[in-house]
Amino acid sequence: MVSNTMSSGVNYGSLYWHLDSQYTTTSVLQRDFELFKNSGITLIVLPIHWVYLERTRGIYNSTYMNDIIRVCKLAKDYKMSVVFDLHTLMHDNSYTIPTWVSPRKFQTLFDDATVRQAWLNMWTYVMTQLSGIDNIMAWQIMNEPTIASWALSCTIDEFVKLCQDTKNIIRQYSSKPVSIRFAGDELIVAFKSDTRLITLCDFGSENWYEAYDTQTQLKNVLALWKGKQIMISEWGLNTDNDVTQLSKFKEYLNLFKSLNVTWSAVWLWRSDSNLANNPATIGKGYIIVKDTTGTPRPAFQAIVDSNLSSGIRSSGTILYQ
């Protein structure tokens, strides 16, 4: 039985895979945000790469930051909240990590004190630049931090300390909630249910795909976040079949509501163009927009229908109002 209302949003990917504001022109943003507003969607996630912010150590890309600010301000005009997701992939030679980080992997933050401090300095820069943006709903400081041979080999203590130091910087400028985008059951498996991570995060944030993790695993993970609001921060279905995607979206959204999820943000909306480094072709795969005119695929309607509330929950303190 579905017992919960849930606010649904989208991971808005047009700032995600490349650094070029021509793909987020005001007209494109207005077109997309007008559709979201009219559909009752009040939340977008902006996944941002460290490499775009700091291609050279200690030198920050003000053009890119100004574009982020522009998008946030325009989102506010449409009464939309923004979740800021520093989406850094952690495998070796990840293109999301600056080339001056050597070896080019997130592990280097734990092996090199200079790189670790650069990470914290980058966050200070971000916070000083975004401190005046008042429709930021939350901060997600890391994405899918798996302790494994291909990702991180740090200790739990080292990981918690870096996360706490990052959060301390955020707290100097913002009281908005902070979390980490965990994937599947890694909170149970990789981090051994360490309660310090539950305490550190102000709300639960989980990326979930049934192709990799079962519904039972999702239920077990969400049970760890006792007393905290939950965001399914990334989910979707990799299919070119609109009928299949729509059917599964309805199933997943009902599952999330039955588990008392507060927000969900589908992966992925981007309506800019078919670039060579696209994670999926527009109209196919995980993308829920049909073409560059901003026409949504049918599954978008399932997200709209899931917004049984207005998108602003009186019981929550996170959403922009």
Tens-place pLDDT, residues 101-159: 999 999 999 999 999 999 999 999 999 999 999 999 999 999 999 888 778 999 999 99
Lowest mean pLDDT among 84-93, 155-164, 168-177, 307-316: 307-316
The letter for the amino acid at 232 is I
Average pLDDT estimate for 291-309: 86
How far apart are the C-alpha atoms of 131 and 147, rounded to whole Å?
32
Sort residue 274 into left (φ over 0), alpha (ψ -120 to 50) or beta: beta
Residue 94: phi and psi, rounded to 5, are -60, 130
Of 233, 221, 228, whose CA–CA distance to 189 is shortest?
Answer: 221
314 has a pLDDT exceeding 80: no
246 has a pLDDT exceeding 90: yes
Please identify which residue in the block is written with the tokens 């026409």.
295
Claim: this prediction has a pTM higher than 0.85: yes
Q: What is the CATH number of the domain that holds 300?
A: 3.20.20.80
Q: Is residue 79 part of a domain?
A: yes
Specify the number of domains making up the chain.
Answer: 1
187 has a pLDDT exceeding 80: yes
Q: Is residue 80 part of a domain?
A: yes
How far apart are the C-alpha atoms of 22 and 16, rounded to whole Å?
13
Q: Is residue 318 part of a domain?
A: no
> 41, 10 in Cβ contact below 8 A?
yes
| Beta strands, E only, 18-117 | 43-48, 81-86
Q: Which domain holds residue 204?
A: 7-306
> 110, 154 in Cβ contact below 8 A?
yes
Tens-place pLDDT, residues 51-89: 999 999 999 999 889 989 999 999 999 999 999 999 998
Residue 9: phi and psi, rounded to 5, are -140, -165
> 26, 283 in Cβ contact below 8 A?
no
